[in-house]
Amino acid sequence: MATLPSEVLGVPRPDWMEDDVAMLEDMASRWLEAEVVPHYDRYEKQEMVDRSAWEGAGAAGLLCASMPEEYGGSGGTYAHEAAIIEALGRTGTDGFGIALHNAIVAPYILHFGSEEQKQKWLPKMASGEMIGAIAMTEPGAGSDLQGIKTTAKKDGNHYVINGSKTFITNGQHANLIIVVSKTDPTKGAKGTSLMVVETDEVEGFRRGRNLDKVGLKSNDTSELFFDDVRIPTANMLGTEEGQGFAQLMTELPQERLLIANQAISMIERALAITIDYVKERKAFGKAVIEFQNTQFKLAELKSEATMARVFVNHCVGEHLKGQLSSTTASMAKYLTTDLQCKVADECVQLHGGYGYMNEYPVARMFRDARVQRIYGGTNEIMKLLIARSL
């Protein structure tokens, strides 16, 4: 079991970390250690986790923790999702796409879905029978989401979807995909709608390559193609066409916060592993931690990580009160992921050559860290959003 973060940073438990949340984090860490960690090297090689791991997570109560019990969830809050997200980070199983399924995809259905949609999809997402993905990015449009070309045209009581998406997390496993589409390409943001595609039910849907990434190897990230895919009009999220962009803007702060939770848990793990390593490793007749450079580096990183942890805890607290602004969520995402990359790089350095060997966990942490500055809105886009508040 990885060293618990509190042992590394010593930041007191925040108020929102009530006993049931702490117990869930402990239970999730133990479940991941027992059921996922032993297979993780294989998942990295096959570039996806086993389908059975999703069902196992569902049976263990780790899917849809913040969804109401009436829809098969555990009736928790974002605090419970944060506990699970951080358990993934601290056990080094961050490539298992539960966080996106739980805390990004399911909330769109809960917040914007009709009663019928919630009853139909959420219990299956809670059991792992359905795996969620959200498809915004296209080959020609990532940061500039208004530039997407995928269309959903109404035809009687169906929408017909045409277009292609790329870089979609859970893209090989997902069978419930929220597709960001243009219902009226002449209207810009106001012509955007969110369409739920149940891939087992439709024709014309095709998965492309499972993309060969630098890191986060155990997550399936894919191209998706929609060729005259017909879905019932009842699969649109929202009461009328054109609400998609506003729906995205409402949910994106939580997506950014969850990336910050991922980042801080992985920072704590990197520090814990590295502190252990430099205490063991000898050079010039003494432990590497006895060099002043090692101490200063780790003192700097611990100080910055402590500030980041306090800030992330504050952001979670604000979010639970419904008061997390888009600006603050963007700060959390950008600051923690920049720090994660810095910490991972310095921790590799303190491991010397072993840090560059894939069999050492810190090497994978270095590779996995890099994408955190790119997805969920790049850190440049985060700065644009923060700058709007100046």
Min dist. Cβ of residue 27 to ligand FAD (A): 27
Whichever of 61 and 253 has its CB closer to ligand FAD, that residue is: 253
Whichever of 16 and 167 has its CB closer to ligand FAD, that residue is: 167
In terms of Cα–Cα distance, which of 333, 167, 177, 341 is closest to 258? 333
Angstrom distance (rounded) from CA 254 to CA 127: 23
Min dist. Cβ of residue 88 to ligand FAD (A): 15
Q: Does 218 bind ligand FAD (CB under 6 A)?
A: no
Bridging pattern class, strands 286-287 and 282-283: antiparallel
Angstrom distance (rounded) from CA 180 to CA 191: 11
Whichever of 82 and 177 has its CB closer to ligand FAD, that residue is: 177
**Closest residue (Cβ) to ligand FAD?**
142
Beta-carbon contacts of residue 387 (< 8 Å; ≥ 6 apart)? none
Min dist. Cβ of residue 129 to ligand FAD (A): 20
- One-letter amino acid at 368 equals D
Active site residue 290: no
For the beta carbon of residue 38, count every other beta carbon within 10 angstroms. Answer: 9
Looking only at residues 147 through 186 of this chain, which bind ligand FAD when binding is defined by CB under 6 A? 167-169
Min dist. Cβ of residue 373 to ligand FAD (A): 9
Q: In what helix (H) or strand (E) does residue 135 lie, and over which residues does it extend?
A: strand 132-135
Which stretch in 85-93, 249-257, 346-354, 378-386 sits in contact with ligand FAD by CB under 6 A? 378-386
Which stretch in 120-128, 236-244, 252-260, 375-383 sits in contact with ligand FAD by CB under 6 A? 375-383
Instruction: Name the β-bridge partners of 159.
Output: 154, 231
Catalytically annotated residue among 255, 268, 318, 346: 255
Question: Of residues 8, 21, 135, 237, which one binds ligand FAD by CB under 6 A?
Answer: 135
Q: Which two tokens stand for residue 9?
A: 């940073």
Angstrom distance (rounded) from CA 372 to CA 251: 18
CB 91 within 8 A of CB 30: no
Q: Does 49 bind ligand FAD (CB under 6 A)?
A: no
Angstrom distance (rounded) from CA 248 to CA 242: 11
Residues that bind ligand FAD (CB under 6 A): 134-137, 142-143, 167-169, 213, 216, 221, 371, 374-375, 377-378, 380-381, 384
Which active-site residues does the annotation give? Answer: 255
